[in-house]
Amino acid sequence: MDEGEDPVEGLRREFAEETGLIVEIDAFIGIWVESYGTRFVHCATWIVRPIGGQLRAGDDLAHVEWFAAEGLPAATDFAFPTHSEILGVWSGKQINAGPQ
């Protein structure tokens, strides 16, 4: 998100820039905070559905594709450890988040 940007507008903009997709928001899941060097990343997470556009990798991505819930990549393939926890919440699986 850009500084001062509305989170929902930032979500839509980033989705279009990084995946080529126009999305509609279905539900808010939550916010996760992840350390990133000397900073923190706030992962505000929504369930979205595509309503237009063409799936393609934007300039910050090497590759983009869809996965079924049963066929997700290994946790070590995600950018941040909390991504596995977020996907567990989305899929309804119990996740041991470890110390907070």
Q: What does the pLDDT look like over 12-48, one tens digit per residue? A: 999 999 999 999 999 998 999 988 899 998 889 999 9
Confirm if 53 and 16 have CB atoms less than 8 A apart. yes
Given a cut of 70, is residue 99 above it in pLDDT? Answer: no
CA distance 56 to 64: 6
The rounded mean pLDDT for the chain is 86
Q: Where are the domains of the chain?
A: 7-91
Provide the pLDDT for residue 71: 86
Distance CA 25, CA 36 (A): 27
pLDDT in tens, 34-44: 888 999 988 89
Looking at the chain, the number of H-run helices and the number of E-run strands are: 2, 2
Domain at 7-91: CATH code? 3.90.79.10
- pTM, to two decimals: 0.76
